[in-house]
């Protein structure tokens, strides 16, 4: 799949997930929903986020504004010459799951910028998995990417996994995939918990052999 095709699939997948989140899981009262909605609009049409920003409910507007300001400063300081807007969009999810999982890979800066409730992330992934064809397309976008965070997203978007998606599973999976080398005591406990699901084969074994 060409880069432009992947970027388009990632953007359309995000937009569909947000539509479902709003319709079925009370997304419009969630700060993360609006941050993603504004950034998706900016990705689609440059300054298009201003129209979406005007729709944000008063109850969450200050929180959303604070997150968007911190988010803009964060990406302005990233050391890449041309960082695709859709990469920044999904980067919110990547960094937020690391922070929510209390992964050691999350930097102090990321902990300040991407601190969202884990329940918001669970709602996002449930929304993204609601339509199988959308989840499957997103899964195949992330599956070939070797970075651990992309493998975690692929696993969380895999609709064929037999594990119920909840906060505990999200945290365990991200922690396991984010580290390297021998398992720590807490990681061994996480692996034991996931051992009865197909997540071990789908996302873990192969990255660390038979550990």
Specify the length of the chain in residues: 211
**Cβ neighbours, 10 Å, residue 40:** 22
Please, what's the b/e burial string for 168-188 (b: 16 or more CB within 10 A of its CB; e: otherwise)? ebbbbbbbbbbbeeeeeeebe
Region of residue 186 (phi > 0: left; psi between -120 and 50: alpha; otherwise: beta) = alpha
Q: How far apart are CA 89 and CA 199, in angstroms?
A: 26
Which stretches of the chain drop beneath a pLDDT of 50? Answer: 1, 81, 205-211
- Extents of the domains making up the chain: 3-204
- For residue 210, the model assigns a pLDDT of 40
pLDDT of residue 205: 46
Q: What is the pLDDT of residue 148?
A: 82
Condensed to tens digits (0 to 9), the pLDDT of residues 65-90 reads: 999 999 999 988 875 545 688 989 99
Of the chain, the percentage scoring pLDDT greater than 90 comes to 52
Give the pLDDT score at 209: 42
This prediction has a pTM of 0.84
């Amino acid at each position: 799949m060409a880069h432009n095709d992947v970027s388009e699939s990632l953007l359309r997948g995000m937009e569909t997930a947000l539509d479902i989140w709003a319709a079925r899981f009370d997304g419009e009262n969630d700060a993360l929903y609006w941050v993603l909605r504004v950034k998706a609009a900016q990705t689609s049409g440059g300054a298009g986020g201003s129209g979406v920003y005007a729709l944000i409910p008063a109850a969450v507007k200050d929180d959303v504004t604070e997150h968007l300001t911190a988010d803009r400063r964060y990406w302005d300081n990233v050391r890449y010459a041309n960082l695709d807007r859709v990469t920044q969009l999904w980067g919110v999810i990547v960094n937020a799951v690391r922070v929510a999982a209390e992964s050691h890979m999350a930097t102090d800066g990321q902990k300040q910028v991407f601190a969202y409730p884990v329940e918001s992330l669970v709602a996002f992934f449930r929304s993204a998995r609601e339509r199988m064809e959308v989840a499957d397309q997103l899964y195949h976008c992330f599956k070939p990417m070797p970075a651990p965070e992309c493998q975690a997203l692929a696993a969380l978007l895999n609709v064929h996994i037999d594990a119920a998606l909840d906060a505990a599973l999200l945290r365990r999976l991200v922690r396991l995939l984010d580290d390297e080398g021998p398992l720590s005591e807490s990681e061994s406990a996480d692996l034991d918990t996931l051992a009865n699901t197909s997540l071990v084969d789908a996302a873990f074994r192969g990255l660390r052999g038979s550990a």
